[in-house]
């Protein structure tokens, strides 16, 4: 039985050679995702050329998905690539993209969050929690839950509106590059309403636009978004930070069902086979998660770090293909 569920895999350092990309295609890769939060146009051009060459050699059609950064707020850098923030300590948040340390963390677009005393600032997919003590141009915060914070990690403040344009100047340049390269799909990050999709489409041109649902506001405005988008991605990383972990399974099912009702493409993403970044075998929970995403009706399932920086990118594709095929046997 031919597999119906498509497999999207993110390309990165672990999958940047003709040999690995070719093997991933043979293993079942359907869509190559390029994360425009990282890399430059030269590196993305090379990846696109490698995918197209490898697909052509195998007489396979492999689509290119351009995932734009959107209005994402990120920390700056640290001398050794990361820093330990200790629970109970205090840290100053400074505007800009400079190099920080355990007592100072630079945050791009810091002012766009308009922080207030008591606001919770979540970093590193919510693993690190800061509480705002005194806001201002520089923000003093207490480390409520510490941990290791790496360069360029994302920052979120659940329930706080971020005052940034839906399509940034970087996005416009990246979308122009995508049009030049003839990419097949665009994933729009951090959208909150249908107007955001229209703004992306105005720059992206005549390609399908997938709305990444990763803000609580996007869940609330899902109908408005689906009226404009060609599909929706359940982006469980940032969505889990926004909503908390407990509602995610229910919200995932809701997004997939409503996307189908609107005639769109549904994609489920984030940590699907995360243990395979290191291990050649998935956990049983991961196998069940991927299968349930298929049973929920996902048109595609997506791999991120597993194939971008993981040790087993080809094996991960093989495993995901096998799980999807088996799940599709369900009556």
For the question of residue 212 being annotated catalytic, the response is yes
**Cβ-count burial of 246 within 10 angstroms (0-12 exposed, 13-18 middle, 19+ buried)?**
exposed
Catalytic residue (choose from 6, 72, 199, 212): 212
Catalytic residue (choose from 45, 52, 74, 108): 74
Chain-centroid distance of CA 265 in Å reads: 17
Residue with tokens 């400074």: 94
- Residue 226 makes CB contacts below 8 A (sequence gap 6+) with 211, 232, 258, 259, 262, 264
Residue with tokens 């299968």: 291
Catalytic residue (choose from 5, 10, 33, 215): 33
Adjacent-strand bridge partners of 99? 77
Catalytic residue (choose from 270, 307, 315, 316): 270
| CA 144/CA 135 separation, integer angstroms | 16
For the question of residue 33 being annotated catalytic, the response is yes
- Residue 259 makes CB contacts below 8 A (sequence gap 6+) with 226, 231, 232, 265, 266
**Cβ-count burial of 160 within 10 angstroms (0-12 exposed, 13-18 middle, 19+ buried)?**
middle
Structure tokens at 39: 């890399």
Which residues does the annotation mark as catalytic? 33, 74, 212, 270
């Amino acid at each position: 039985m031919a597999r119906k569920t498509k497999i999207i895999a993110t390309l990165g350092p672990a999958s940047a050679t003709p040999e690995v990309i070719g093997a991933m295609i043979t293993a079942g890769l359907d869509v190559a995702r390029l994360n425009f939060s990282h890399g430059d146009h030269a590196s993305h051009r090379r990846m696109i050329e490698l995918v197209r060459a490898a697909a052509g050699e195998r007489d396979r059609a492999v689509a290119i998905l351009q995932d734009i950064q959107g209005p994402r707020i990120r920390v700056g850098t640290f001398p050794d690539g990361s820093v330990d923030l200790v629970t109970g300590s205090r840290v100053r948040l400074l505007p800009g993209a400079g190099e920080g340390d355990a007592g100072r963390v630079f945050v791009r677009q810091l002012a766009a969050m308009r922080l207030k005393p008591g606001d919770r600032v979540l970093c590193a997919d919510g693993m690190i929690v800061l509480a705002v003590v005194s806001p201002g141009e520089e923000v003093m915060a207490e480390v409520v839950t510490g941990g290791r914070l790496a360069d360029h990690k994302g920052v979120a403040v659940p329930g706080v509106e971020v005052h940034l344009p839906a399509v940034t100047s970087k996005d416009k340049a990246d979308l122009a590059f995508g049009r030049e390269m003839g990419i097949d799909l665009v994933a729009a990050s951090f959208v909150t309403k249908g107007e955001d999709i229209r703004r992306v489409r105005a720059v992206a041109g005549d390609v399908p636009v997938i709305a990444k649902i990763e803000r609580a506001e996007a869940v609330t405005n899902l109908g408005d978004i689906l009226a404009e988008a060609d599909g929706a991605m359940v982006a469980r990383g940032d969505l889990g930070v926004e909503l908390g972990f407990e509602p995610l399974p229910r919200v995932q099912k809701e997004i997939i069902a409503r996307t189908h009702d609107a005639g769109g493409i549904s994609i489920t993403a984030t940590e699907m086979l995360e243990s395979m970044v290191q291990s050649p075998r998935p956990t049983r929970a991961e196998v069940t998660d991927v299968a349930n995403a298929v049973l929920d009706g996902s048109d595609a399932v997506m791999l991120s770090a597993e194939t971008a920086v993981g040790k087993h990118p080809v094996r991960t594709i093989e495993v995901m293909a096998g799980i999807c095929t088996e799940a599709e046997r369900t009556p």
